Amino acid sequence: MNRLDFHGRHAVITGGATGLGFAIAERLLASGGDVTLWDRDQAAVEAAAQSLGENAVAVAVDVADAAGVAQAVQVTLARRKAGATVDALVNCAGITGPNSKLADYPVDAWRQVIEVNLNGVFLCCREWVPHLRERPWARIVNIASVAGKEGNPNASAYSASKAGVIALTKSLGKELADTGVRVNCVTPAAVKTAIFDQMTPEHIAFMLSKIPMGRFGTPAEIASMVAWLCTEDCAFSTGATFDLSGGRATY
């Protein structure tokens, strides 16, 4: 593992109790930083933070709840070490929703996917940007998906929500380009995590068939790119989309 320089920095990671969020936390801790994990599952996020050690803190929050996100920001700031700041936000919380044709897609499920995957990113950015832009440098990294670029059949809500995350990233990156905040997103192809439990075997097989490397990505591979995007080395990229697709994405 290459050592990235996140020494003395602090990141808030949504969806941090499991999967990609947890792997990103591990990588940033290994790079010298500390983290606050946000997750709506209180027991899981507290267990995750405990397993990561003294440099990890847990905050239970539903990113789709505007009031809850605002409160979680204040709780996070209050729990920071004396004189410490928050330097990076990684928006990783997400759900897949059902695999269904659009004409049959449940309206409530559509709304839930958009609420978590897109509105949750908006709400977290909205609350953290005023704090981050006061820093000499800060980073926002949003987890989108190759589905947001290409569209996966029978996953219209997920694909639309991730396309929205890409567009939000580009817009916010331009808004903050004259500050020290860099805003980027990553677009993984399928990564084998617990989110697979929300998908049908047929959908999983479809995703694998689209990857030229013939395998799924690993959480550690995604975490490596995200961690670099959180460092000062990522200085001239903002509003950008970074593919992690095993060759699937070609534009």
Q: Is 243 helix (H, G, I), strand (E, B) or coil?
A: strand
Residues lower than pLDDT 70 in the chain: 81-83, 250-251
> Looking at residue 135, what is its pLDDT?
93
DSSP string, 18-76: SHHHHHHHHHHHHTT-EEEEEES-HHHHHHHHHHH-TTEEEEE--TT-HHHHHHHHHHH
> Looking at residue 246, what is its pLDDT?
84
> Looking at residue 174, what is its pLDDT?
98
Q: Is 156 helix (H, G, I), strand (E, B) or coil?
A: helix
Measured CA to CA, the distance from residue 71 to residue 68 in angstroms comes to 5
The pLDDT tens digits of the residues spanning 27-70 come to 999 999 999 999 999 999 999 999 999 999 999 999 999 999 99
User: b or e along 17-43 (b: 16 or more beta carbons within 10 Å of the residue's beta carbon)?
Assistant: bbbbbbbbbbbbbebebbbbbbbbeee
The pLDDT tens digits of the residues spanning 185-204 come to 999 988 877 777 777 888 78
Q: The tokens of 204 are what?
A: 């999983």
The residues that are catalytic are: 158
Domains of the chain: 10-240 (3.40.50.720)
> Looking at residue 81, what is its pLDDT?
63
